[in-house]
Amino acid sequence: MAPVLDRVRLAGVIRKEVRQFRRDARSLVLAFVLPIVLLVFFGYAITWDVNHIRMAVVDQDHGRSARTLVDAFRAARRFDIVAHPARTAEIGPLLDRSAVQIALVIPPDFSQDLGAGRTARLQAIVDGSDANTATIAIGYLQALLQQYGATILLQTRRVTLPVEARTRVWFNEELSSSNMIVPGLVVLIMMIIAGLITSLTIAREWERGTMEQLAATPVTGLEIVIGKLVPFLVIGMVDVAATSLVGVLLFHVPFRGNALFLAVPTFLFLVGTLGLGLAISAVSRTQLLATQIGMLATFLPGLLLSGFMYPIDNMPAPLRVLTLFVPARYFLVVVRGVFLKGVGPDVLWPDVLLMLVYAVALLALALRAFRKEIE
């Protein structure tokens, strides 16, 4: 009985795929250049940190306390005071033109109330057309005013605060959005690249007419699928290592875990994603159709249903069920856990196990979708 995999025939398919890949300049760019370019581009473009909030201040008090408060906003990196309207009626046009995002009104009795020990009131008008920026700006504003109020209390009454809250943030001490975004980009980019690059392989054979020659050889369908998968699996592992290194060196994302452990779920994730690409390529027959299906099958689920951009717990119940079939969801948990938390298999084994199931299932799908026979 002939072996399931003949090493000589398998090595021949691998050599053929490597040579064909080296001669295709587009595939070389797609495999080695595009992942780094996308990581750098999206790493800088996508951020949830809000800085340089344009602010207008209407100072109707002109007292020392009011000037101190305005100086506190100037000293904060989050706010840029770009306008000093003389009247509150001028605030509306500034917000309408998006010249400012927040307007602070200091009433005439602000300094007097503070000097008399009474509660001083302020008015903040926020542009809510961008709900995310408005929410973050309000949080910054409240935090700065609380700090300012505590300073006034200590300076005027010489008492200690009855309650002091000391907050400790774990895993992302600076609350930097890049620490969360960059590991997620590694997952998203590799899902797209791995799916696209293999979705073209079998379709390219059909377009160039070489599938007929391949069908005439004694190479089995399993050997063709494995032979086409192995080179891109190696390329994918190199790409993950390169993008991770760029994230650490360029974006200063901490890497606290074990790189050898990360290699295992990376291998499983790439096997499954490459299997998905091969299945798409087997049924598409044209590179254009394979590219379109590959983008729909990788980019949209990876972006919207993996938890990269939007928390899964906030999604409607049907979408939460749908995310269970998106492998990027589990790989994202693993990558962030290894990068930021430094955890290992004792914590992440359920996600790694699900990725193993995913890899086996999609590799089986690729084998089932591929037909060596010429119709």
pLDDT of residue 153: 72
- Domain membership flag for residue 183: yes
More confident: 315 or 207: 315
Q: What is the mean pLDDT of residues 329-349?
A: 93
Q: How many domains does the chain have?
A: 2
Q: What is the mean pLDDT of residues 160-182?
A: 71
247 in the same domain as 359 = yes
199 in the same domain as 120 = no
Which residue is associated with the tokens 């300076």? 155
Q: Quick check: 255 pLDDT over 90? A: yes
pLDDT of residue 137: 87
197 in the same domain as 324 = yes
Q: Which of 157, 192, 216 is the last residue of a domain?
A: 157
Q: What is the mean pLDDT of residues 38-61?
A: 88
pLDDT band at 219 (very low <50, low <70, confident <90, very high): confident
- Domain membership flag for residue 93: yes
299 in the same domain as 193 = yes
**Closest listed residue to residue 13, CA positions, set 174, 214, 152, 262:** 214
For the stretch 71-124, pLDDT in tens is 989 988 889 999 999 998 999 999 888 899 999 999 998 888 887 777 888 999
CATH number at residue 131: 3.40.1710.10
pLDDT of residue 249: 94
pLDDT band at 366 (very low <50, low <70, confident <90, very high): confident
307 in the same domain as 211 = yes
Domain range for 328 is 12-46+176-369
Whole-prediction pTM value? 0.80
More confident: 150 or 357: 357
Q: Is the dihedral of CA 153, 158, 159, 160 positive or negative?
A: positive
Mean pLDDT of the chain: 85
Q: Quick check: 321 pLDDT over 90? A: yes
For the stretch 274-290, pLDDT in tens is 999 888 888 887 878 88
* Angle, vertex CA 70, rays to CA 66 and CA 71, nearest 5: 115
215 in the same domain as 90 = no
CA-to-CA distance for 111 and 125, rounded, in angstroms? Answer: 20
Q: What is the mean pLDDT of residues 208-234?
A: 80
Q: Quick check: 129 pLDDT over 80? A: yes
137 in the same domain as 104 = yes
CA-to-CA distance for 121 and 105, rounded, in angstroms? Answer: 9
Q: Quick check: 47 pLDDT over 50? A: yes
206 in the same domain as 103 = no
More confident: 245 or 12: 245
Q: What is the mean pLDDT of residues 259-265?
A: 94
Task: Find out whether 185 and 38 touch, Cβ atoms under 8 Å.
Answer: yes
329 in the same domain as 193 = yes
Tell the burial category of 104 from Cβ atoms under 10 Å away from its Cβ (0-12, 13-18, 19+).
buried
pLDDT of residue 51: 82
pLDDT of residue 2: 43
18 in the same domain as 98 = no
Task: Find out whether 50 and 136 touch, Cβ atoms under 8 Å.
Answer: yes
**Closest listed residue to residue 79, CA positions, set 149, 143, 153:** 143
183 in the same domain as 92 = no
Q: What is the mean pLDDT of residues 177-203?
A: 86
Q: What is the mean pLDDT of residues 56-68?
A: 90
pLDDT of residue 285: 74
- Domain membership flag for residue 7: no
Q: What is the mean pLDDT of residues 133-158?
A: 80
- Domain membership flag for residue 6: no
26 in the same domain as 86 = no
- Domain membership flag for residue 348: yes
Residues 6+ apart with CB under 8 A from 274: 194, 195, 198, 229, 232, 233, 236
pLDDT of residue 345: 93
Which stretches of the chain are DSSP H helices? 7-23, 25-28, 34-45, 64-75, 91-96, 110-115, 131-157, 177-199, 201-208, 211-215, 221-250, 259-284, 287-304, 317-323, 327-336, 345-369
